[in-house]
Amino acid sequence: MNSVDKKYSVLLVDDDKFLLDMYSLKFSKSGLAVQAVIGSLQALKLLREGLSPDIVILDIVMPTMDGLELLETMRKEKLASKATVVMLTNQSQSADIERAKTLGVDGYIVKATTIPSEVVSEVMDIVKKHRK
């Protein structure tokens, strides 16, 4: 596995600790600096405190505030405004995908159809397109 040119920082937000740990490991092994947080409220707190990751990866279905609501709040408050935002979720309904696009998401990956090692390369492809 090749490492990326620049050490990107990733904010990974999910409510599933097992998935957070697994994806954290995959991204770390690819040379990225990963900060994994459980749930949107914790992520929002870090972003409001000034965390400015290069990449934000969000699950949609989370308690209290879902990933789309988090993204909407990030956009309104201009948090991590330069970040590449990728939804990583099991939600494959077109309504969710459309809402994500409306909120300016850069990529949308469905967990069920993508193995973890592919997730890293897909995210990096999305980042490369976003940075151009």
Residue 3 domain-assigned? no
Check pLDDT > 90 for residue 1.
no
Q: Angle at the Cα of 100 (from 94 to 106), degrees rounded to 5?
A: 115
Residue 58 domain-assigned? yes
Residue 2 domain-assigned? no
Q: Using one digit for the tens of pLDDT, what is the confidence trace for 87-123?
A: 999 988 999 999 999 999 999 999 988 988 899 999 9
Match 């040379």 to its residue by tokens.
31
Residue 123 domain-assigned? yes
How far apart are the C-alpha atoms of 65 and 46, rounded to whole Å? 15
pTM of the model: 0.92
User: Bridge-partner residues for 34, per DSSP?
Assistant: 10
| pLDDT value of position 6 | 65
Supply the CATH number for residue 124's domain. 3.40.50.2300
Domain that holds residue 71: 9-131
Check pLDDT > 80 for residue 3.
no
Q: Using one digit for the tens of pLDDT, what is the confidence trace for 30-66?
A: 999 999 999 999 999 999 999 999 999 999 999 999 9
Domain count, the chain: 1
